[in-house]
C-alpha cells in the first residue's frame, strides 16, 4: 500500500527508502552522543534533575529538538529510571546514592528524524545482582537485534529476548514495548519483548523500529505511580533497560544508536 509519504505494509508498518537511513543515522548518533557525554556526571550525590538539565543543555547546544518535552504533557528532556523504576522515571531532586543503577532515555528530533535510545548507568560501585541484571538485559537486547533481517518475524525477536532472560531466571516486562519510529516518535508496530517464533508481522527492508527490553530481577508486573508516568516493579525488585533504534537492511540491520564513544554498556564506561 502507498500513502502520501510512501509505502506501508498491510499491518501499517512504514517501509522507508534507502536515503532515509542517513537521516535516522544522524538522529540516532546525536541521541547516543548525548548519552555518552552524560556518563561522566553520574555519581553518588548528584540528582536526576542535574542530569536532565545537562541533557537539555546539550539538545540546545546541538541545535536539535527534544522529542519528549511537550510530548503528552511530559516536561523533561529525558526519562531517568532509578533502581526499581522500570521506565518513564521523571527527573527530579532525588539524590543518587552509591550502588544505584539508572536508565537514561533520550529522544531527539534531527532534521525531522527521531533518534531514541537508552542505556544503563551506575552511581558508584555496582553490586553483584545489579551487575548481572544489567549484563543480561544488555545481552538480551543484542540477541533480539541479531534476529533482525528480512523474513524474520517480530515474534522471533521477542522470543530471542524472552528465552534468554528467562534462562537467566529474570523476567521480561510485558506492559511496555518497543515501537516503530522514523519521522514520528511512536508508530506501528508494537515491538514485544516476548513471544513465539514465527508469529507477528514479517520484517521487511526499510522498517525502522526500537527494541527496548525492560528486565526485572523479580516478577514482571509493573504499576504506574500517581504522577501518571513513573512505572515501577510491583514487587520492588530491580529493573534494567537498554534501547536501540534499528533499520532493516537487505541482509540484516543497521543500528542507528550505537555509542560514538563505545560507552553503551556501563562497564565499558568505567
Task: List interacting residues with Co ion (CB under 5 A).
Answer: 105, 116, 118, 210, 243
DSSP per-residue codes, 92-148 = -SPBP-TT-EEEEEEEEEETTEEEEEEEEEESSSPPHHHHHHHHHHHHHHHHHHHT-
Q: Give the integer Cα–Cα distance in Å for 169 and 163.
A: 10
Please pick, from the candidates 212, 240, 244, 253, the single residue that binds ligand MF3 as defined by CB under 6 A: 212
**Which residues 6+ apart lie within 8 Å of 50 measured at CB?**
41
Q: Which of 9, 21, 74, 224 binds ligand MF3 (CB under 6 A)?
A: 74
List the single partner that 88 binds among ligand MF3, Co ion, none, CB under 5 to 8 Å by kind.
Answer: ligand MF3
Sheet holding 6-8, edge to edge: 2-3, 6-8, 14-15
**What is the closest distance, in whole angstroms, from the C-beta atom of residue 13 to ligand MF3 in the complex?**
17
- 268: contact with ligand MF3 by CB under 6 A: no
Q: Using the minimum distance from each CB to Co ion, give the nearer residue, 100 or 243.
A: 243
With CB under 5 to 8 Å by kind, the binding choice for 21 among Co ion, ligand MF3, none is none
Nearer to ligand MF3 by C-beta: 82 or 126? 82
CA dist., res. 91 & res. 56, Å (int) = 12
Does position 105 bind ligand MF3 by CB under 6 A?
Answer: yes
Angle among Cα 83, 86, 90 to the nearest 5 degrees reads 85
Residue 68 interacts with which of ligand MF3, Co ion, none, CB < 5 to 8 Å by class: ligand MF3
- Considering only residues 116, 133, 136, 209, which one is a binding residue for ligand MF3 as defined by CB under 6 A? 116
Q: Which is nearer to ligand MF3, 68 or 171 (CB)?
A: 68
The span from the CA of 99 to the CA of 83, in Å, is 9
3-state SS track over 142-166: HHHHHCCCCCCEHHHHHHHHHHHHH
49, 38 contact by CB (below 8 A): no
Site for ligand MF3 in 18-57 (CB under 6 A): none
| Minimum distance of ligand MF3 from residue 184's CB (angstroms) | 12
Question: Min. distance of Cβ 79 from ligand MF3 in angstroms?
Answer: 5
Which C-beta is closer to ligand MF3: that of 137 or that of 210?
210
Three state DSSP letters for 200-229 = CCECCCCCEEEECCEEECCCCCEEECCCCC
Q: Where along the sequence are the contacts to ligand MF3 (CB under 6 A)?
A: 68, 71-72, 74, 79, 88, 105, 107, 116, 210, 212, 229, 243
Amino acid at each position: 500500500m502507498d500513502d502520501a509519504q510512501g509505502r506501508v505494509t498491510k499491518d501499517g508498518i512504514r517501509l522507508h527508502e534507502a536515503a532515509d537511513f542517513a537521516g535516522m543515522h544522524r538522529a540516532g548518533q546525536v541521541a547516543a552522543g548525548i548519552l555518552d557525554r552524560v556518563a561522566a556526571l553520574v555519581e553518588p550525590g548528584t540528582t536526576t534533575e542535574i542530569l536532565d538539565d545537562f541533557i537539555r543543555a546539550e539538545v540546545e547546544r546541538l541545535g536539535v529538538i527534544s522529542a519528549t518535552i511537550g510530548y503528552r504533557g511530559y516536561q523533561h528532556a529525558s526519562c531517568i529510571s532509578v533502581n526499581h523504576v522500570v521506565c518513564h522515571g521523571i527527573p527530579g531532586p532525588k539524590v543518587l546514592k552509591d550502588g544505584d543503577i539508572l536508565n537514561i532515555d533520550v529522544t531527539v528530533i534531527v532534521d525531522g528524524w527521531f533518534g531514541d535510545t537508552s542505556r544503563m548507568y551506575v552511581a558508584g560501585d555496582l553490586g553483584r545482582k545489579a551487575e548481572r541484571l544489567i549484563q543480561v538485559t544488555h545481552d538480551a537486547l543484542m540477541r533480539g537485534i541479531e534476529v533482525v533481517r528480512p523474513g524474520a518475524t517480530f515474534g522471533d525477536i521477542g522470543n530471542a529476548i524472552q528465552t534468554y532472560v528467562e534462562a537467566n531466571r529474570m523476567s521480561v516486562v510485558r506492559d511496555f514495548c518497543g515501537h516503530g519510529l522514523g519521522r514520528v516518535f511512536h508508530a506501528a508496530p508494537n515491538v514485544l519483548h516476548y513471544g513465539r517464533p514465527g508469529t507477528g508481522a514479517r520484517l521487511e527492508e526499510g522498517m525502522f523500529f526500537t527494541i527496548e527490553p525492560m528486565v526485572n530481577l523479580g516478577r514482571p508486573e509493573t504499576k504506574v505511580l500517581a504522577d501518571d508516568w513513573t512505572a515501577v516493579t510491583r514487587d520492588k525488585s530491580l529493573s534494567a533497560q537498554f534501547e536501540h533504534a534499528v533499520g532493516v537492511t537487505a541482509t540484516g540491520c543497521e543500528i542507528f544508536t550505537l555509542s560514538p564513544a563505545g560507552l553503551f554498556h556501563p562497564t565499558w564506561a568505567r
